[in-house]
Chains A and B, each alone.
Chain A
Amino acid sequence: KQEVTQIPAALSVPEGENLVLNCSFTDSAIYNLQWFRQDPGKGLTSLLLIQSSQREQTSGRLNASLDKSSGRSTLYIAASQPGDSATYLCAVEARSQGNLIFGKGTKLSVKP
């Protein structure tokens, strides 16, 4: 059974710092991995999607990598801003299950 773990559960950094959020999954047989952002009480905003054949994706200050063999993904945020404060969720679509399996998220706080 696929399980997704995100570390750390919470992170507080000063504005301008570069940071890395981690995601690990137990079964490497995945279709894709997707990173989402969630603001308090709101829905999910897709940030980056990495297909199983890809190694990384970039969008603006965000870069996500995927290493299927080790079951790991990282989300790198450059030059963090207070507006980046949110919960970041990692989800994989496992070939065995055909639906998204989420981690519990990392709650990021960027202090001005």
Chain B
Amino acid sequence: DAGVTQSPTHLIKTRGQHVTLRCSPISGHKSVSWYQQVLGQGPQFIFQYYEKEERGRGNFPDRFSARQFPNYSSELNVNALLLGDSALYLCASTWDIDGNYGYTFGSGTRLTVV
């Protein structure tokens, strides 16, 4: 079984540009979450989607948006990039077995804004 896959692995963008990050959850997982991790900090929650509906949003500006597709893959979009958006962006899919559930993370996309 493939794990959570994210693309691209690395990305360099210029301030003011737009970026799209992609995530495919584990087969059968219907929920996807996005997290931002800046250097030296723990990951911070950005969005959660379940069955194509937004289920939660963290404390991030409207420049950040996301969506989930019918195949449960997801995109995270960031507009008008700032230097402070440089971070590791992590995607997680949620598994649910008999009412117990947890998170499996992908390897992340390293975004550098210059």
Contacts and interface: CB of A to CB of B under 8 A. Distances in A.
B33 A43 contact: no
Contacts of B100: 32, 51
B60 interface: no
B48 interface: yes
A32 B102 contact: yes
Contact of B105 (A46, A49, A103): A46
Contact of A99 (B33, B88, B101, B110): B33
A100 B103 contact: yes
A42 interface: yes
Contacts of A4: 42
A30 to B, nearest CB: 12
Contact of A98 (B41, B55, B104, B108): B55
B48 A99 contact: yes
B42 A43 contact: no
Contacts of B45: 97, 99-101
Contacts of A99: 33, 45, 48, 56, 58
Interface in A1-46: 4, 31-32, 34, 36, 41-46
A111 interface: no
Contacts of B35: 100
B107 A34 contact: no
Interface of A: 4, 31-32, 34, 36, 41-46, 49, 51, 89, 91, 97-105
Given A99-B48, A99-B56, 12 more contacts: A41-B88, A43-B106, A43-B107, A44-B43, A44-B92, A49-B102, A91-B42, A91-B43, A97-B45, A99-B45, A100-B92, A100-B103
